[in-house]
Structure 1
Amino acid sequence: MKITATLISLAAAASLLIVEAQHPAGTAIPLSLNPNHKRNFRAAIAKLAHRYPQLDLESHHTFHPPGAPVDNGARDKGTGSGQVPLIDVGNDSEYYGTVQVGTPGQPFRLDFDTGSSDIWFPTSDCNTQACKAHHRFDAKKSSTYKKDGRPWKIGYGDGSNASGILASDIVNVGGIKVRQTIGLATNESAQFASSPEDGLFGLGFNTIESVKGVKTFLDNAIESKAIAQPLVSVFLPSVRRNGGKGGNYLFGAIDKTRFTGALQYIPVTRKGYWQINISNAKYNNKALTQASEGIIDTGTTLIIVGNAAAAAIHKNIKGAVDSSKDPNIGGWTVPCSLAKTSKDNVAFTMGGKDFQVPVADLAWAPLDKTGKDCYSGVQGGQDGLWILGDVFIKNNYCVFEQSASPRIGVAPLKY
C-alpha cells in the first residue's frame, strides 16, 4: 500500500542544544522546543501506517489525492545512568536526541523509538540526496570502528527504503558508552531527505531487530553493567502545560521528581514492541470499551484505538466529527476551543489504575487557518491493537524496564 516514508518531511528543527544535567544516580538528555513547527496530521498518520500495517490505517483515514506528497506547510561503565538531550520537533509531534558514535564521537540526531529496535543512520559512502541532507558517519575517522559486513536493509509499505551494511562502534548516549552493532545506510530513498533526524535509535526488544541475532543498545548496556538498572525512563514535555520544557530520556535510573504518587507496573505481554494489556478506556471515569492489547510507543505521535473505541470517546465530545472518509480531512476532528475550555479527561486503565489524558490535549492540530476545528489526538484503526503515543506519554511518566520479567511503570506527570 502507498504511504509516506517513516521519517516523513517535517519543518526544520530548532538549533541543536546539547545539555547534560545532573539527575539522581546520573545524567540525562533534556528536550528542547522547536517553537516554529506546525503539527501535521497527515504526516502523523503516514508514519503510523508504515510502522503498524496491521492497523490498516489507510482504509480508515482517506486523503485526497491518494499517495500525494504531504503538505508540510501546515505543520561504558560509569555513573550507572545517562540522560539524553532531546529536541521537540513539531510542538509535541516528535522528539530527537543527539548520540555520539565512534572515537572521537561523531554526532547524530536520532529518533528515540520504543516501537523499533534498530540503530541506523547514513554512512559517508552514501551519496543519495537523502544521505547528503544528513550527518553521515565516516568510519575512517573512528579508531574504534569494526566492520561487520553483513547486509542490512529496512523497507516500508510506500516503497521507501534504506540499506547498507552492519558494523560496530562505540555508541555514547549521555555518557553511557557501549560497543554496539549499527546499521550504516549506503542507500536511502528520496523520501527521507526532508527529515530532521539522521536516523533511528530503537528501544524495543531484539526480537524485532532487522537482522536476527543483533543485540539492542539496552541489551548491551545491561549486560556490560553500563547502567545501574535495566530500564529507560521517559519524560516528554507538553507545549500546552509547560511550554515544552524540561523533557528527557533517562537511562538506568528513575527521576521520582517527575511524577506524582507511585509507579504502577504493568507486565509486558509480548516481547517485541512494549505490549501490555489495556483493561478499558474511560471518559470522565465512565467505562466505554472492553479490554485490548496495546503498545506504549515513543515513536508514535497520536493515540490510536479501535474504531468502536474512537467513536465511543468522541461521542462524549460536543462538536466532534468523524471525517475519516472525507478525502479533504481524513480523521476525527474536535473543536480547537477544547484546548482552552475543556476540563474533561479520557483515561486508559492499566494494571488496575486509570491514567488520564486531558481532553484539552485532543485538540491536536488545526484543520485550516480559521483555527475552528482541530484534528483529534485520538484516532481510530483496526480493532485489536491500541497504540498510546506521545499524546499519552506527555501526560504520564513511563519507565520501560527490560528485566527478566519486562514491565512498564506508569505514573501521572508532575508539572
Structure 2
Amino acid sequence: MQIKLVAAFLALVPLLTAASPSPVTKVPFVRKRSFRKSDGAVDIEALTAHVDEVRTKIARGFSAFKTNTGKAHPNDIGNVPPAKRATKRATGKDTLTDDLDGDLWQGAVSVGTPLSAFTVDFDTGSSDFFLPGPDCTENCEGHKVFNTAASSTAVDQKETFSIEFADGSTVAGEIFHDTVSLGGLVATGQAVVAATQYSTGFAIANSPPDGLLGMAFESIADTGSPPVFQTLVTEGKTTQSVFGFTLLDTGGELFLGGADSTAFTGAMTFAPLIVTDPPAFWEISVQSASVGATKVVTRAQDAIVDTGTTLLIVDPTSATAIHAKIPGAASASRTIGQGFFTIPCNEIPTDVSFTIAGKAFTLSADTLNFGQLEAGSTLCVSGIMGANEGFWILGDVFIRNFYTEFDFANERVGFATLA
C-alpha cells in the first residue's frame, strides 16, 4: 500500500509543479540548543546523547520502512536495535533563528482551526510531526500544548503512536488529522501526533522547540502518513516541489516551494537520490573525501542529508583516514567516546572537502571545530566522527556551509555557495 501511495504522489508532482506562482514566504529560524558550555568547552554528555538519539532515529526509519513497504531498506545493517512502533501555487519562506553556539535550528508552524502557533525542529532525517497534546504528563512542561479540543478541524484517527529513544524513553500519543500552516502554505488533513508522553530528549531543558516536524519521505513515517511538505505538494499548494535550508550562526531559513535565489550565489550542484523504491531518506552518493590535495576516501559512499543530525558521521575507517591527514588529530575514544576525534585548536584545517556530483565541497574551520575538549584545553573536538550506521550522515557540520535544496519532483539534493 505504501509503495503505491508514494508512487502515486511522485506521478502527481510534474502536474502540481506546473502551477503558476504566488507570493513568496519564509520560515525564519532561531538557533537554540548548544553543545557548548558557557566556558567554550563541549558538553560531552549532551553530544554523546545526541549521537545515541541519531542512531536510534535511523533505526526507527529502517523499521518503519520495512513495516510500510514489506521489505528491508538496502542500507539497514541491523547494528542498532529497532525502535518500537504502535499500531500553488505558492512558495513559502520560514525564517530560522539561533542563539549562542546552538546546534538546533527551530522555526514556526501553526496547527488547527483557529490556527495556533508552535515552534518545531525541522528534521530531514525523519518523517513524523508531533507536538505535546493536552494529556501529556511526562517531559512536556514548558512546551506549548496542541489543544485538540479547541480545533474544529482536528479529527482523532483512533490510532496510537509510540517510538522509543536511545535512553529507553518514548514519545507516545494519539494520531490526529488537522490543518497545518507552514510559511503561510496550508495543508489539510495532515497527520499530527498529540503526544501523551515526551522522551527525556524533548524535555524543555534539552530541547526548546515544542515538537518535531519530519521532512523525509512517507516510507519512513511511523504514522504511515505523508509528511507535511508532501501533503502541501499533493494538494497543489507549492509552485515547485522543493524546499531549501540555510543554517547560519545568525539563524537562517527554510524556503518552501522554490529556490531562494537571494540565499546563494552561482549554480546549484545536484546529486540524484539513491533510489530505494520507494524513496525513504534524502540519500545521495559522496564520491570521495580529501584533506588538501590528498584523497583519503576514494570509494563512493552512500550518505543521507540530515538537518536533524549535528555532526558529520562517516564510517570508522573513513573517519580515521580523514583525521590521519590532519596535523595533531587523535582519537578521543577514551575522553569523549568511540568514534570521536580531537584536533589542536590552532590547527583546525580549512581544506577538508567532500566530492559530490563531481564538485568538491569544503568545510569551514568554524563548522569543523566543535569546541574545546574542556575549558582552557588546546584540543578541540572534531565535527567529523566515525560510526557504522549503514550510510554516512551529512549533518549540520556539512549543511551549515551551503544552501541546501531538497527536490521531491526530481529526487535529488542540491548544494550551492551561500550568499
Deviation of 1:365 after TM superposition, in Å, equals 1.6
- Partner of residue 253 from structure 2, selected from 248, 251, 263: 248
Aligned pair count reads: 359
Secondary structure of the corresponding residue to residue 168 of structure 1: strand
Distance 1:122 1:327 in 2: 33
Q: Is the 8 A contact 2:245 2:253 kept in 1?
A: yes
Distance 1:330 1:380 in 2: 4
Matching residue of 1:402: 408
Deviation of 1:295 after TM superposition, in Å, equals 0.7
**TM-score with structure 1 length normalisation?**
0.80
Structure 1 residues 317-356: aligned runs within 5 Å? 317-326=326-335, 331-338=340-347, 342=349, 344-356=350-362
Distance 1:330 1:294 in 2: 17
Matching residue of 2:394: 388
Matching residue of 2:267: 262
Alpha-carbon distance change, 357 to 104 in structure 1, aligned in 2, over 3 angstroms:
same
Alpha-carbon distance change, 104 to 285 in structure 1, aligned in 2, over 3 angstroms:
farther
Identity between Structure 1 and Structure 2 (%): 34
Which digits, 9 at most, give the CA deviation of each residue in 1:289-330, with x for residues without a partner?
121110110001110111121112112222211112346897
Deviation of 1:98 after TM superposition, in Å, equals 1.5
Matching residue of 1:125: 135
Distance 1:328 1:381 in 2: 11
Alpha-carbon distance change, 306 to 35 in structure 1, aligned in 2, over 3 angstroms:
closer
Distance 2:300 2:269 in 1: 18
Q: Is the 8 A contact 1:89 1:96 kept in 2?
A: no
Distance 1:264 1:45 in 2: 33
Matching residue of 2:24: 26
Alpha-carbon distance change, 121 to 365 in structure 1, aligned in 2, over 3 angstroms:
same
Q: Is the 8 A contact 2:133 2:147 kept in 1?
A: yes
- Does 2:48 correspond to 1:45? yes
Secondary structure of the corresponding residue to residue 137 of structure 2: coil
Which digits, 9 at most, give the CA deviation of each residue in 1:144-171, with x for residues without a partner?
2222111111112321101111101111
Which digits, 9 at most, give the CA deviation of each residue in 1:75-105, with x for residues without a partner?
xx56x11112223255251111121111222
Distance 1:34 1:217 in 2: 23
Q: Is the 8 A contact 2:30 2:107 kept in 1?
A: no
Which digits, 9 at most, give the CA deviation of each residue in 1:160-186, with x for residues without a partner?
101111101111111011121111111
Matching residue of 1:314: 323
- Partner of residue 227 from structure 2, selected from 193, 216, 219: 216
Alpha-carbon distance change, 174 to 102 in structure 1, aligned in 2, over 3 angstroms:
same
Deviation of 1:249 after TM superposition, in Å, equals 0.3
- Does 2:383 correspond to 1:374? no
Distance 1:383 1:101 in 2: 34
- Partner of residue 361 from structure 1, selected from 360, 367, 370: 367
Secondary structure of the corresponding residue to residue 261 of structure 1: strand
Matching residue of 1:274: 282
Distance 2:289 2:257 in 1: 31
Matching residue of 1:11: none
Which digits, 9 at most, give the CA deviation of each residue in 1:183-226, with x for residues without a partner?
111122445322212211000000000022x1111221001111
Alpha-carbon distance change, 98 to 41 in structure 1, aligned in 2, over 3 angstroms:
farther
Distance 1:266 1:334 in 2: 30
- Give the aligned residue type for 2:151: S
- Give the aligned residue type for 1:276: I
Structure 1 residues 7-26: aligned runs within 5 Å? 26=24
- Partner of residue 154 from structure 1, selected from 149, 160, 163: 163
Distance 1:216 1:54 in 2: 16
Matching residue of 1:240: none
**TM-score with structure 2 length normalisation?**
0.80
Deviation of 1:27 after TM superposition, in Å, equals 1.1
Deviation of 1:25 after TM superposition, in Å, equals 5.0
- Does 2:114 correspond to 1:108? no
Structure 1 unaligned blocks of 5 or more: 1-22, 57-76, 238-243
* Bigger Cα displacement from structure 2, 385-394 vs 368-377: 368-377
Deviation of 1:399 after TM superposition, in Å, equals 0.6
- Does 2:97 correspond to 1:87? yes
Secondary structure of the corresponding residue to residue 171 of structure 1: strand
Secondary structure of the corresponding residue to residue 392 of structure 2: strand
Distance 2:91 2:260 in 1: 11
Distance 1:413 1:185 in 2: 37
- Give the aligned residue type for 1:358: S
Secondary structure of the corresponding residue to residue 103 of structure 1: coil
